[in-house]
Each structure stands twice: as structure tokens, then as C-alpha cells.
Amino acid sequence: MGTELAPTTYRVTRADLLAYAAASGDHNPIHSDDQVAAAVGLPGVIAHGMYTLALAARYVDEYRGEPGGIVELSAKFTKPVVVPAGADGTEVRVSGVLEVRDGVETVSLTVTCGDDRVLGNPKAVLRG
């Protein structure tokens, strides 16, 4: 059955995306420029999928109380996280269910923005 972990909501702003681009080296302008995003058919500037996946990992770290405990992490990028300009940006909500099988802890995550599940089957396996 598993244990439900309390959800956490993370605010995501354009400033966060700029910081992530600088730290990760992914400077695709769809994460910063409205015109470029519109030109490729997006509803607006979107977060890096990897930024959202990093939030999922952060959530698991926060549950554990320390970083570095995830041995496996995976997800599909199913829907974009659109980030409006301004200090409000948007919000990404993460929740999880912890299961233990054969002594191995696995957290199955749910990551949403508005009504959309933005990650498909996000999952973290923890260090034993």
C-alpha cells in the first residue's frame, strides 16, 4: 500500500529558470524568451523539464532530511510547466507515496502544475 508523504508546493519564477540555465548550461531560449516559445508553438516560456525533475528530487531529499540519498530517479516529461513573467510565476506541487520492497525504499511521486501532471511516472529509489 505504501505511506503517503505530505505534499509540498514550490514556486517557480523566470528568475529561477535563468539561474537554472546558468547552473546547468541549458540556455535554450524557450526557457526565457516569450517570442521564441510562441514560435515553437508553446503557450509561453516553460521551465526546463530538468528543473521540474530537480524539484522532484528536492522533495525526496526534504523527506529524507539530507541530500544525496537517491540512487535512481526517472520520469517522463509529459506536459510543460508554463512560467508567467513576474514574481508570482507559477507553482509546482509534489507529493509522494513511499513503499518498501525487499528492504528497498521507493518513492512514487505525483508532480502537478495546475490540473496537469507534468511528469509521467516520476520515481525515486533510495539508498539502502
Partner 1 sequence: MILADLAGRTFPPTAPYAVTEERLAAFAAATGTSRAVGGPAPTTFPIVVAFEAMTALMADPSVGIELHRVVHGAQGFVHTRPVVAGDRLTAQLTVVGLRQIGGADIITTSSAIVDATGALVCTAEATLVHKADD
> Smallest distance from the beta carbon of 13 to partner 1, in angstroms?
12
Q: Which is nearer to partner 1, 17 or 112 (CB)?
A: 17
Q: Does 58 bind partner 1 (CB under 8 A)?
A: yes
Sequence letter at residue 65: G
Helix (H) or strand (E) holding 126: strand 119-126
Of residues 13, 62, 95, 97, which one binds partner 1 by CB under 8 A? 62
Would you state the cell numbers that stand for residue 51, as one nine-digit string?
A: 528543473
Q: How far is the CB of 103 from partner 1 (least distance, A)?
A: 18
Tell me which of 5, 45, 47, 53 binds partner 1, using CB under 8 A.
Answer: 53
According to the binding rule CB under 8 A, does residue 70 interact with partner 1?
Answer: yes
As a whole number of angstroms, the distance between CA 36 and CA 46 comes to 11
In whole angstroms, the minimum distance from the beta carbon of 73 to partner 1 comes to 5
22 three-state secondary structure:
helix
Stretch that binds partner 1, among 68-76, 83-91, 92-100, 108-116 (CB under 8 A): 68-76
Cell, residue 124: 525515486
Cα gap 112→88, rounded to integer Å:
17
Look-up: residue for cell 528530487?
A: 57
